[in-house]
Amino acid sequence: MKANLKHYDLDNGFRVILAKDSSNPILSVQLFIKVGSVHEPAEESGFSHLTEHLVFKSTENYPTNGIMERASFLGANINAYTEFESTCLYLTLPSKFGEDALDILSQLVYKSNYSDEEFFTERNVVIEELKQYENDPEDNFLEKAPLLCFTESPYHNLIIGNLANIENSTPQQLRDFYKKYYIPQNCYLVITGDFEETEIKAQIDKYFGEWQSAELNKLENRKNDYIQDFRVIHVEEKDIVQDMLAFVVPEINESSLKGLALSIITKGFAIGRNSRLHKRLYLKEQLVSGIQVHSIAGTYEGISEILIVPKNNSNLEKISRIFLEEIALLCASGFTADELRKLKVEQENGWKYSFEYMENFASVLGNEELDLGYKEFMNFPTRLAAVDSKLIRDVLHEYYSLDKLKILHLGTKNEKLLALEEEIKNRVEVEDICIIPKVEKITGDYHEHLCENGMKLLIKKVVGKPTVGISLARRFSQLNESLNRRGLTYFMTALMQYGNEKYSYEELLDYCNEKGINFHISNGIETAGVKAKCFVDQVSASIKLMADVIKTPLLPTRELLNLKDSVKSDLRRYPDFPMKDANKKYNQFILGKRSNLILKTGELSDIVKISRKEIVEWHKEFLDLSKMTIAVVGDVDFVDVIREVENSFNFDFTKSKSVQKAAYIKGARKRTIYKNGNDQSIIHIGGFACNSTNRRHNTAFHVLSQIIGGDMNSRLFNELREKQGVAYSVDFDYSSLEDIGVFNNFAVVDRAREEQAIKTIYAIMQDIKDNNVTPEELQLTKNFINGQRLIDNESVIAQADQLSLLSALGYSYDYYLQRENRLNNVSHEDIDEIANSYFNRKDLYMQIYR
């Protein structure tokens, strides 16, 4: 892989890293500040994160949240995040607005001037965010691990801070923090995408050259003492539906070869469907419903947390013994030569894919600069090649040794699990435990082909991209299911990944890893299908693989039973996750509990009845090639693609008679309250809307949903979060199908502010009914949506997915091309018609979940 990378420093010490890629008119501009929770003394815990929020409130040129409005006008993706060791402020936007991005970032990083009132408003927002985090048992559990595994550690501080510290913070404290760390020699800028170097350097000097440097008092190296002792720790007695286990091992920075080897070990042991733990605990023993790996590490030695969610009534002690057994086997024998080769191929493919999207590329370069220096990113293949089996074995014995392992448990205290600690400590070592049709030459950048079997093939040529997106879609989903057969499509598509007549499950995973194919079986509200992203030289292999997967899936009974148990376990855990549970209950409230619109999986009563025989018959209904569309987007040869699709999909199938219908019963009651013992109220206010066949109103409703509840500069965001400071999470969602449209206002607030939030939501809707939206709001939103679409077009798989989905639903390529025209044609009259048709108070539904 090639990249045009270079850097230079301004006189004030501000570093600039440039990576030019003119394949798409997109620019990502990311400014990193070298401050995060590891730099905070106890009295400043959470200040990095709070400062990241505050800088957006007001600046010299953009008072009162003006930056968000300006970014929306530019069609920019603007956001920020705080990590343990850095804070990042960034924009991704059309490249013609690159100077505007530099202007905005310069304002944020050294010209922020929020008022005391704005400080207290945003502090309340962060407090609500912190409370929301504390109400999530999984996040809370994982973030406690450093306190239990280190006597001292820079990672003891939570990134978000602690409630008492944030509540007691003052405006002056945060202004002092800003002045101390937001200085040029403590920051650097990463720009990736389409720019002219001389021009952008002049602009950088214009906006950052006057930034005054200041003395930086760097912190001394923090103590970082990992507890060298095997432990089983009951973290908390918590009333949750399903207990959680986290197995903790050390993690070190990838700047050393040891660190890189350790990341490969963790990948092969615990991450993904090809990992040893997934094969043993999920596939073979069927004891768990999920395995995730979370990293808490950076410059300092940290930890990897292997989170395991047992299935309902699974034996926690047995799961722990199997985990120890798998570690023992790995330490004793390491990976086979073939396993290590495949893991390294997968790592290198991941590195190659990091060049694809400018936002991701800038993020990767920025984080590499923090650790090794950005130049080392290009040396990754060389460093990867140096990792051999001896190094893997050495690292295994150093970091996966018994005295480094911790087992954390959340849930009802389990004496047998706790007794495992003493038993294991008495052991010395872990080890103790083809048809080619004639095709004429084709020119242009788009072509449609009707295959002999009736399948539609759409090909869009995108020159210069190393990757190709391939998407196959069929109008077939939960909407095809009758009310007594819910969940069939979900289980059918989920099982299709578990092997076919040509490849076993493991062979399928290995094949994708070796070829660098990202393969996914999709199951949407209206369509089901298969997607693949690959490099140009693997297009033929990817198309063949798609055909094999949909034609002869094994749909194995063992995996069906395992999957059913996992889904049932997940459904039972809904009450543990308030926002997830509230959303489900709201949909049941307005659509009826038996609607086929609510859960792809069906309810528990549906899942019990599903058999393999039913799924096999359902697959026959799905396998109607004449109702499928396959879209290929990338730098491909049209003729080669047509030949491969005709050849690969040349098999018999049965015509399907199944049709889609949204089944629902409008709720008779208009208001309901669910009590779940939360200190926050989750508010849903919404109703029914136009369906997707009304194209004019459908487009206008999407625009209105962005105005009311978009990610930034929306009315809900500005009122509930920015002005009143009562909510961290707000949203307005609109979705439409042929049969139905629904919309929903959403907010999470402290229970004491519940009535205030409800009144605000109703007031926003009534104001739009009475006064419409402003011309500035309408134009700004159109600009933002157009900008986001341009950013989306950077992805070849996103384009292929859109083309195949629209075609499967009966829309033409011209409809796809006219997206911008439809958006620009949205008028105030359209907004007025929507508001007066659907925002009448008597027609609205309200649910409060608390």
Question: For 147-195, what is each residue's pLDDT tens digit?
Answer: 999 998 999 989 999 999 999 999 999 999 999 999 999 999 999 999 9
- What pLDDT is stored for residue 678 in this prediction? 87
Alpha-carbon Rg for the chain in angstroms:
27
**Domain ranges within the chain, ordered by starting residue:** 4-208, 227-432, 446-648, 671-849
Residue 435 has pLDDT above 50, yes or no: no
End-to-end CA distance of the chain: 52
d(CA 479, CA 660): 5
3-state secondary structure 272-338: CCCCHHHHHHHHHCCCEEEEEEEEECCCCCEEEEEEEEECCCCCHHHHHHHHHHHHHHHHHHCCCHH
Cβ(653)–Cβ(453) below 8 Å: yes
Q: What does the H/E/C string look like for 322-376? A: HHHHHHHHHHHHCCCHHHHHHHHHHHHHHHHHCCCCHHHHHHHHHHHHHHCCHHH
Q: How much is the pLDDT for 427?
A: 64
Residue 610 has pLDDT above 60, yes or no: yes
DSSP assignment letter at 459: E
How far is it, in rounded angstroms, from Cα 360 to Cα 347?
16
Least confident of 435-439, 596-600, 696-700, 823-827: 435-439
CA 310 to chain CA mean position, Å: 23
Q: What is the CATH number of domain 227-432?
A: 3.30.830.10
Amino acid 628: pLDDT: 97
DSSP for residue 423: H
3-state secondary structure 71-134: HHHCCCEEEEEECCCCEEEEEEEEHHHHHHHHHHHHHHHHCECCCHHHHHHHHHHHHHHHHHHH
Q: Is the pLDDT confidence value at 439 over 60?
A: no
Q: Give the span between the Cα atoms of 465 and 800, in whole angstroms.
A: 14
Listing from the earlier edge strand, what are the strands of the sheet with 467-474? 446-450, 456-461, 628-634, 467-474, 528-535, 518-523
SS3 content of the chain, % helix, strand, coil (to 5): 50, 20, 30
Beta bridge partners of 92: 28, 77
The answer to whether residues 206 and 382 touch, using CB atoms and an 8 Å cutoff, is no
What's the pLDDT score for residue 428? 47
711 or 307, which is more confident:
307
- Tokens, residue 266: 């963790």
Element (H, E) at 420: helix 415-425
Give me the residue label for tokens 């999530």. 136
For residue 21 the two structure tokens come to 């890629």
The CATH number of 446-648 is 3.30.830.10
Homologous superfamily of the 4-208 domain (CATH): Metalloenzyme, LuxS/M16 peptidase-like (3.30.830.10)
- Per-residue pLDDT band for 434 (boundaries 50, 70, 90) equals very low
DSSP state for residue 500 in the 8-state scheme: B
Q: Tokens representing 282?
A: 């999920």
Proportion of the chain above pLDDT 70, given as a percent? 97
Higher pLDDT, 225 or 178: 178
Q: Which of 315-324, 432-441, 506-515 has the lowest mean pLDDT?
A: 432-441
pLDDT in tens, 268-306: 999 999 999 999 999 999 999 999 999 999 888 999 999
The CA distance from 691 to 693, in Å, is: 6
For residue 459 the two structure tokens come to 């090909």
Q: Which residues of 395-407 are buried (b: 16+ CB within 10 A; e: fewer)?
A: bbeebbbbebbbb
Backbone angles phi, psi at 243, to 5 degrees: -65, 165
Q: Tell me what pLDDT residue 431 has.
A: 45
Check if the beta carbon of residue 820 is closer than 8 Å to that of residue 747: no
Torsion angles phi and psi, residue 571, rounded to 5? -65, -40
Do 92 and 74 touch, CB atoms closer than 8 A?
A: no
Listed range (122-126, 309-313, 562-566, 845-849) with the worst mean pLDDT: 309-313
CA–CA gap between residue 702 and residue 682 (Å, rounded):
23
Strand partners, 236: 410
8 Å CB contact between 246 and 142: yes
Cα(45)–Cα(140) distance, integer angstroms: 17
Contacts of 365 (CB under 8 A, 6+ apart): 5, 17, 19, 190, 192, 374, 377
Residue with tokens 């069609």: 75
Strands 456-461, 628-634: pairing kind: parallel
Contact 647, 436 (CB under 8 A): yes
Query: In degrees to the nearest 10, what's the CA dihedral of 476, 478, 481, 484?
Result: 170
Mean pLDDT of all residues in the chain?
Answer: 93
| Residue partners of 752: CB distance under 8 A and separation at least 6 | none
> Alpha-carbon distance 616 to 543, whole Å?
23
HSE of 204 in the Cβ direction (CA atoms, 13 Å)? 26
Q: Which of 622, 619, 624 is nearest to 454 (CA)?
A: 624
- Summarised one tens digit per residue, pLDDT across range 791-835 is 988 999 999 999 999 999 999 999 999 999 999 999 999 999 999
Q: Which CATH class is domain 671-849?
A: alpha beta
CA 559 to chain centre: 26
> Quick one: tokens of 586?
């709201």
In three-state secondary structure terms, 266 is helix
- Residue 523 CB-half CA count within 13 A: 19
The mean pLDDT of 27-39, rounded to a whole number, is: 96
Q: Give tens-digit pLDDT for 619-665.
A: 999 999 999 999 999 999 998 899 899 989 999 999 999 999 999 99
> Look-up: residue for tokens 């920015």?
722
Contact 72, 781 (CB under 8 A): yes
pLDDT tens by residue, 712-740: 789 999 999 999 999 999 999 999 999 99
pLDDT at 131 over 80: yes
